[in-house]
Structure 1
Amino acid sequence: MTDPGIAMVAEPGKAAPRGTAPDLFDKFQPLIDQREALLSTGLTDPFNLVMERVESPTVAICNGKRTILLGTYNYMGQTFDPQVLAAGHKALDEYGAGTTGSRVLNGTYQGHRECEEALKRFYDMDHAMVFSTGYQANLGIISTVAGKDDYVILDIDSHASIYDGCALGNAQIVAFRHNDVEALEKRLKRLPAEAGKLVVLEGVYSMLGDTAPLKEMVAISKAHGAMVLVDEAHSMGFIGPNGRGVAEEQGVLDDVDFVIGTFSKSVGTVGGFCVSNHPKFEILRLVCRPYVFTASLPPSVVATAATSIDLLRGAADKRAHLWANSRRLHGGLKDLGFTLGTETPQSAIIAVIMPDLERGAAMWEALLQEGLYVNLARPPATPAGMTLLRCSLCALHSEEQVGEILGMFEAAGKRVGVI
């Protein structure tokens, strides 16, 4: 029997198959051409900007210039909090730089348990599982809970990690139109009543910064026998009375089976998690492949995360200031004549829609020259083929900085001809 690993290798003395094998990079050629065309104009690479020094959650040195950060997802400004940094230094000194192991082997330290306890306190839930990234949290939970004979019903604008979780678990994907309650209900009605069903939603969608109608969607999902997972990556920390996200704000947190989140946004470090009240939840630690087969987070990271999560429980004033920043920036950009992703501010994300990729890239460069960093987002990551500049506010942006930002947008927009 031929070894399948060498089946395509020519036998000694025999000619190799005719023809030239395609370069596996050929499928990327349109994107390569587009990137080279943009960079040939002298544009700074918007997807490879180097921050030479980070001075605070809101200011860095980029290209040797003081730059206001408006594209970092550092919503609550926890990255430089003295208590957070002290916890990280202490864990680094006491436990070393890394665990060198999986959570189910030698990779669970006391700090991992303390971080999970902090999450349970924050969400007031029975179970918490910490992953090495937020991407892996979605990948792991979705692929483990929903298998090949199950259905995952998801918003068509869902994050890549959600789609990848469906693919890893080989579940049947049923997509519905973005934030369309009626479309969700129609999809659920068509599925077999006896089939396993998981509805996956996001509290805040990261491209346009709009929130989901979770109250209606969770009720419909439950009425059709589906479990519900809500990704609160972009709402944890500042939406809801206690910062627990859109599900809390809309009064349906107790009806949600799984909440997924990340430490790389409001928490200010790196990692991911899932919290749940499901009585069988703990078995996931033995069957969730992205949890079982990945090295755990370093002790210093989980220490900073646990400290930051506890601090977020008492961050009502910061939440209020962040909302004030969001309302002011949204209103100011609208008054200047920019087209925005939402009619009203719904989160800390404000999307400024550009006419096309070329002018979007030019506007991004003009803002960087003014001293402002935002995200340039392009298809296929964006919905409906949009090019947009994504702004993510921080609770530590001062009133003066928001005023500076509006001035920079006005100057850059007029120079590029967007307004």
Structure 2
Amino acid sequence: MDLLDKFDPLIAERARMGDSQPDPLNIVMDEMLSATEAMIGGRKIILAGTNNYMGMTFDPDAIEAAKDALDAFGTGTTGSRILNGTYQGHKALEQALMDFYGMDHAMVFTTGYQANLGMISTLAGRGDYVIIDADSHASIYDACAMGNADVLRFRHNSVEDLEKRLKRLPAESAKLVVLEGIYSMLGDRAPLRELIAVAKAAGAQVLVDEAHSMGFCGETGRGVAQELGVEDQVDFIVGTFSKSVGTVGGFCLSNHPKFEVLRFACRPYMFTASLPPSVVASAISSIRSLKNAHNKRAHLWGNVERLHGGLKKLGFNLGTESVESPIVAVCLETQDQLFGMCRALLLEGVYVNVARPPATPTGLYLLRCSLGAGHSADQVDRILEAFKAAAHTLQLPLNEKLRAASASENAKAPQARDAAVATG
């Protein structure tokens, strides 16, 4: 038997998609024009699915820092952090993270995926328990598979189910509850205050992944835990540089007095080449600027309100009833609708992510939009027009009740609507 035979169902599924272009699962950015636009297939496209939440990929200071580091330290380290792969920049990056979060210890990983993989699989060992949300990111699931701990899942964002499962565990056992500030598919938030309270009552330690909330949640952008005032109850904070920071890499922070020993126990940290100096330098620059990026945060939230409200008025079924994050998920019924809408949107000049089972919760087919502080109000309006045109092209059945309500509202107050569009 061929080792690749097990992938025949996936090959058949890809074949059923035919040769229709563009291929939603094989989009190529031919040229990046800015944080919000790219050339795809010879056409200028608005990017509404890049996770570039704070628009930092073209930040002048971050680019200049990367260039300087490239000249001074070369293209890479060719070694892991515990061998030759720790340069002064890596220590400076960890210090920048500690300053940003106000915490005592930081470890930087080569990717955000590795941060979860390394921390969870190392913290919880044989005889310990890891308790995760059912909608956890793939990196969390893979960390559980890599480790030796017993793993339990609780219903998504259910405080009651978490409490029930924790009560079944031996009181004296070591327990790690893994949560996310914002979940990446639907963009919904975790009720961290209540979940953490239940975890602590059961004697568990808590790890919170703030990958999709760093930069824009909380007074200084540290995430949902900061916004809810529960940072002091979180034992480990994990995050990534590939979203709001605008580059690549991952990290974990903690105030635990024994934290530094993990550098010599965490295999994904010990056996992976460290981040290139240019990436490190750009990350330091971005992190330092995020703390005071109040205007950017306000602009981002204004963009999201505009998109969420506009799609809702058009009659689309959204992943969240109200705005919870810069992720706006449009829920569709079939894979044909999903890929058809993605292609139609590209032809209208807009790129969004496609997400489908088994990656999505409850088997949903999602057009996953993620806006950034770099988008203008005009770009958001153009995204809305593209969704309207694409839905018309596909004759997509939208929520008639919402559309009727929207039409009635617009008829009653055209002047107010026009004023809102003008001011953003």
| Secondary structure in 2 matching 1:200 | strand
How many residue pairs were aligned? 397
Quote how far apart the aligned CAs of 1:379 are. Answer: 0.6
TM-score (ref. length: structure 2): 0.93
The letter of the residue matching 1:326 is V
Match of 1:140 in 2: 118
Quote how far apart the aligned CAs of 1:36 are. Answer: 1.2
Match of 2:71 in 1: 93
Is the CA contact 1:43–1:362 (under 8 Å) kept in the aligned structure 2?
no
Quote how far apart the aligned CAs of 1:27 are. Answer: 1.9
Match of 1:309 in 2: 287
Is the CA contact 1:126–1:277 (under 8 Å) kept in the aligned structure 2?
yes
| Secondary structure in 2 matching 1:274 | strand
TM-score (ref. length: structure 1): 0.94
2:12 to 33, 44, 51: 33
Matched, 1:379 2:354: no
Q: Any gaps of 5 or more consecutive residues in structure 1? A: 1-21
C-alpha RMSD of matched pairs (Å): 0.7
Matched, 1:244 2:222: yes
Q: Deviations over 1:81-115 (max 9, x none)?
A: 11000000000000000000010010000000111
Q: Quote the Cα distance in structure 1 between the aligned partners of 2:55 and 2:110.
A: 21
Match of 1:197 in 2: 175
1:309-388 maps to which residues of 2 (within 5 A)?
309-388=287-366
The letter of the residue matching 1:85 is I
Q: Any gaps of 5 or more consecutive residues in structure 2? A: 399-424
1:215 to 177, 193, 204: 193
Q: Quote the Cα distance in structure 1 between the aligned partners of 2:305 and 2:377.
A: 12
Q: Which runs of structure 1 show a deviation greater than 3 angstroms over 4 or more consecutive aligned residues?
A: none
Is the CA contact 1:56–1:80 (under 8 Å) kept in the aligned structure 2?
yes
Q: Quote the Cα distance in structure 2 between the aligned partners of 1:195 and 1:378.
A: 37
Q: Quote the Cα distance in structure 2 between the aligned partners of 1:175 and 1:39.
A: 37
Matched, 1:282 2:260: yes
Q: Quote the Cα distance in structure 2 between the aligned partners of 1:240 and 1:32.
A: 44
Is the CA contact 2:57–2:246 (under 8 Å) kept in the aligned structure 1?
yes
Match of 2:3 in 1: 24
Quote how far apart the aligned CAs of 1:129 are. Answer: 0.5
Quote how far apart the aligned CAs of 1:242 are. Answer: 1.0
Quote how far apart the aligned CAs of 1:39 are. Answer: 2.9
Match of 1:82 in 2: 60
Q: Quote the Cα distance in structure 2 between the aligned partners of 1:404 and 1:322.
A: 16
> What percent identity do the matched residue pairs reach?
64
1:99-248 maps to which residues of 2 (within 5 A)?
99-248=77-226
Quote how far apart the aligned CAs of 1:46 are. Answer: 1.4
Matched, 1:265 2:258: no
Q: Quote the Cα distance in structure 2 between the aligned partners of 1:39 and 1:210.
A: 34
